[in-house]
A = this chain, B = another copy of it.
Amino acid sequence: MSLEAQPLVRPLDQLRIVLCQTSHPGNIGAAARAMKTMGIHQLYLVKPEAFPHEHATAMATGAADLLQTAIVCDSLEQALNGCALAIGLSARKRQLSHELLPAREAAQRACSIAAQGQQVALVFGTEMSGLSNDELDHCQLLAMIPTNPAFSSLNLAAAVQVLCYELRMSAGLSTVTPAVANPLATSDELEGFYTHLEQTLIKIGFFDPNDPKKLRQRIRRIYARAQLEKEEVNILRGILKLTQNPRPPEGL
């Protein structure tokens, strides 16, 4: 099969977030917002206590479209229909032996399967007690967010945010849009600046003939670390010029 013939699989489009028996509709809205910020769109709600609800809409802000397309289910089984992998989020140690992965590794596992075009579900339990043992039986894997052992209680939407963030990072979309960069000074422009700086420091009496070379190096390294832009070199040389020949304040 040629490369052109292959359909483009976007891993994040294969992921679904499943919220089981959520008590507070505000958390559903906040979870939708968290999902959308990370580019994940499929929301499944298993027996939500109140949905649709004005609190859900209010907390979703610009992610209300995810609430519109959310699929409300009567059972977790129904929400997982078609999924190749269901990962349950767990806040506590479980007796029964599911494979347990930190969130980062779980997200990598999810994305590697999603990248093959198969659906993967991330399953979250209730605010009070997490996933029931019955619900866990429908998952193949458990994920855990590393937390402070003395206080491990993440808000539901906060847990969704961390998982969705890790999913986005794993999907290869971890780059940030770089700020519009100004052109950096070239090596010869920098050398011109260093020479100018050294002349100035001699003139004001900072460097004397017995000056240890080390001080020169230290000063160069400050500016080297700053990675000066062309325009910044011009600003700094403007300062050096005036250091050598100060301009008297106006009106004097």
Within 8 A of B (CB), among A124-166: 144-155, 157-158, 161-162, 165
Q: Is A53 an interface residue (CB 8 A)?
A: no
Q: Is A5 an interface residue (CB 8 A)?
A: no
Q: Is A195 an interface residue (CB 8 A)?
A: no
Q: Once bound together, how far apart are the Cα atoms of A66 and B157, in whole Å?
A: 20
Interface size on A, residues (CB 8 A): 79
Taking CB atoms, residues of chain B closer than 8 Å to A202 are: 249
Taking CB atoms, residues of chain B closer than 8 Å to A158 are: 30, 33-34, 37, 157-158, 161
Q: Please tell me if the beta carbons of A222 and B215 are within 8 angstroms of each other in the complex.
A: no
- How many copies of this chain? 2
Q: Is A229 an interface residue (CB 8 A)?
A: yes
Q: Mark A62-80, 1 if CB is under 8 A from B, else 0.
A: 1100000000000000000
Q: Name A162's closest neighbour in chain B (CB-CB).
A: B165
A residues bordering B, Cβ < 8 Å?
30, 33-34, 36-39, 61-63, 93-95, 97-98, 100-102, 104, 144-155, 157-158, 161-162, 165, 168-169, 172-182, 201-206, 208, 215, 218-219, 222-223, 225-229, 231-232, 235-236, 238-239, 242-243, 246-250
